[in-house]
Amino acid sequence: MKALNISKIQNKLRNKFLKSGVKMKGPETVFFSEDTKIGKNVTIEPYVVFGKNVKIGNNVIIKSFSHLESCKIENKVELGPYARIRPDTILKEGSKVGNFVEIKKSTIGKKSKVNHLSYVGDSVIGKSVNIGAGTITCNYDGFKKSKTKIKDNVFIGSNSSLVAPITINSDSVVGAGSVITKNVKKKSLALTRSIQTEIMNYKRKVR
């Protein structure tokens, strides 16, 4: 009986959103909460789950296999596929969160991009920031959570670790593969990288 009730509620919610103009390619695979709010001209691809307290603005695209809970998605945002948006997250207008990205308790600024394979937690990210693939905010030291602040127009190179608490000031660049533990000044390049070693004519030992 419980399963039947859940199915009935979901069908009712799906029909409500379809009637309001939400575009769903596979509505039977999308799961809503009763308090989900969705604006105009929104597209939801198959296999998306909305937890409690999710608010979606206008002209938003949510791609397949994404999970959202207790978050606010503003206008003209593109999200997913395979994105996880956790509680207390705000995606500002025109921002983009791509595949295999997890965002928790963070604000992603206008027109900023976290395109793939990244974790952003306890962070405030400004406008027009690019977060490269494989970037993580190291926000937990085993005892407490700390904040990462990334100001406007910052470029974070791929596979970087940002060790909180830390501030990356505006118009700066973090080189790929860096572990950043100190604040980065405005309009500067920060990188931490060991020297590449190359041994000529190297032969592996035979066991």
| Predicted TM-score (pTM) of this structure | 0.92
For the chain, the farthest-separated pair of C-alpha atoms sits apart, in whole angstroms, at 71
Decide which of 3.40.50.300, 3.30.930.10, 2.160.10.10, 1.20.1050.10 is the CATH code for 2-190: 2.160.10.10
Predicted pLDDT of residue 105: 98
Task: Tell me the per-residue pLDDT of 53-85, one tens digit each, with 9 for 90 and over.
Answer: 999 999 999 999 999 999 999 999 999 999 999
Res 4 pLDDT > 90: no
Query: Of residues 116, 121, 131, 178, which has the active-site annotation?
Result: 116
Three-class SS state of 22: coil
In the residue annotation, 116 being an active-site residue is answered as: yes
Task: Tell me the per-residue pLDDT of 92-127, one tens digit each, with 9 for 90 and over.
Answer: 999 999 999 999 999 999 999 999 999 999 999 999
